[in-house]
């Protein structure tokens, strides 16, 4: 458990999946939570889960690809709760039914607009609010293992996540001396709506599990645990880096089936 008593945490994309997992974890650790998303029923459910922890929840509709929406979100957060200590730029989408060779300008712009520009807007507005308060803070951006890899079917997603991994380094340098850290989290495959299509295909699901050294797909609690660490005092010296809660899938060219075959041959 991180001690986040008395702190205010903001999470974008908090209506489901990893965003909801982080919002609930921050509440469990004592923070009040600002819940931002474009999915209003999903946000209400996250707010219910936060309030179940006897913490306050503020629900705010925000399209992170709009600078005006993000600026209004940060203003609402600080005026409602009087402070902002932790901001997580988590909202994201993955393009589907396209690839490098067919992707349209609109598809490219939408994914980059949410996954990279939206992260920039969120980190910038939150950083400026934290600087004005003078109490330090924690900026966290959700990247992906795709910050390390390419994918013929998701070029904008990979480019955007690679951009997020780089972006946190610049913010880390811009605000570190003010007691504000900025880091990224690079999840592996996690059981959320985003990966449902892959997990619904048994052959793809088996392949993902086979390539993951721990032998299973992650849960939003695994991402939330890293976010809680980065948000807490124990992470004060961690700045400008990326942590991969990915079961070891980025560790190398692993296959569970190959490992079993090798063991059987010994
Ligand atoms: P998800 O689809 O459950 O959640 C994404 C959330 O972002 C949704 O609630 C959605 O409404 C919201 N959103 C989409 N566009 C938005 C916009 N313009 N403004 C505000 N909110 C918007 O999927 P998830 O897996 O929980 O994704 C959360 C983050 O985790 C994303 O950045 C994703 O890229 C990242 N991630 C996910 C995985 C995975 O395996 N699930 C792996 C690596 C990284």
What confidence score (pLDDT) does residue 3 get? 94
Q: Give the alpha-carbon dihedral of 123, 92, 186, 181, to 10 degrees.
A: 10
Cβ–ligand 1 distance for 181 under 6 Å, the answer no
Spacing, Cα 42 to ligand 1 middle (Å): 12
Tell me: domain 8-190+218-252, CATH 3.40.50.1370, correct? Answer: no
Cβ–ligand 1 distance for 38 under 6 Å, the answer yes
What confidence score (pLDDT) does residue 219 get? 98
- Catalytic site residue from 81, 121, 157, 171: 157
Q: What's the chain's average pLDDT?
A: 97
- Counting from 1 in the atom list of ligand 1, the atom nearest the Cα of 15 is 9
Using 50, 70 and 90 to split pLDDT, how confident is the model at 17? very high
Is 157 noted as a catalytic residue in this protein?
yes
CA 128 to chain centroid, in Å, comes to: 20
Cβ–ligand 1 distance for 93 under 6 Å, the answer yes
Cβ–ligand 1 distance for 119 under 6 Å, the answer no
Using 50, 70 and 90 to split pLDDT, how confident is the model at 2? confident
- Per domain, the residue ranges of the chain are 8-190+218-252
Using 50, 70 and 90 to split pLDDT, how confident is the model at 97? confident
Q: How far is CA 83 from CA 36, 89, 186, 248, 250, in A?
A: 16, 17, 27, 37, 37
What confidence tens digit (pLDDT) does each residue in 27-54 have?
999 999 999 999 999 999 999 999 999 9
User: Is 249 strand, coil or helix?
Assistant: helix
What confidence tens digit (pLDDT) does each residue in 192-245 have?
999 999 999 999 999 999 999 999 999 999 999 999 999 999 999 999 999 999
Cβ–ligand 1 distance for 193 under 6 Å, the answer yes
What confidence score (pLDDT) does residue 96 get? 83
Spacing, Cα 257 to ligand 1 middle (Å): 31
- Give dist(CA 260, CA 237) in Å, integer: 40
- Give dist(CA 89, CA 183) in Å, integer: 11
User: Which of the listed residues 24, 194, 200, 245 should we mutate to test ligand 1's pocket, taking the one with most ligand atoms within 8 A of CB?
Assistant: 194
| E strand or H helix at 42 | helix 40-52
């Amino acid at each position: 458990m991180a001690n986040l008593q008395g702190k205010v945490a903001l999470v974008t994309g908090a209506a489901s999946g990893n965003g909801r997992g982080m919002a609930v974890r921050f509440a469990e650790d004592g923070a009040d939570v600002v819940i931002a998303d474009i999915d209003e029923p999903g946000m209400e459910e996250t707010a219910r889960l936060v309030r179940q922890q006897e913490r306050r929840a503020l629900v705010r509709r925000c399209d992170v690809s709009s600078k005006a929406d993000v600026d209004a979100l940060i203003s609402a957060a600080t005026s409602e709760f009087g402070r902002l200590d932790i901001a997580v730029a988590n909202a994201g989408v993955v393009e589907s039914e396209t690839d490098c060779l067919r992707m349209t300008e609109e598809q490219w712009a939408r994914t980059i607009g949410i996954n990279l520009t939206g992260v920039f807007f969120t980190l910038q507005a939150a950083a400026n609010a934290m600087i004005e308060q003078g109490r330090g803070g924690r900026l966290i951006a959700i990247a992906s293992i795709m910050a390390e890899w390419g994918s013929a079917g998701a070029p904008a997603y990979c480019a955007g996540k690679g951009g997020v991994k780089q972006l946190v380094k610049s913010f880390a340098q811009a605000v570190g001396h003010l007691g504000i850290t900025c880091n990224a989290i690079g999840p592996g495959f996690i059981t959320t709506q985003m990966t449902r299509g892959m997990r619904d295909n048994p052959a793809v699901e088996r392949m993902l599990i086979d390539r993951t050294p721990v032998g299973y797909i992650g849960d939003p609690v695994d991402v939330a645990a890293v976010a809680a660490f980065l948000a807490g005092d124990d992470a004060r010296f961690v700045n400008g880096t990326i942590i991969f809660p990915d079961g070891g899938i980025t560790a190398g060219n692993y296959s569970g089936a190959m490992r079993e075959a090798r063991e059987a041959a010994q």
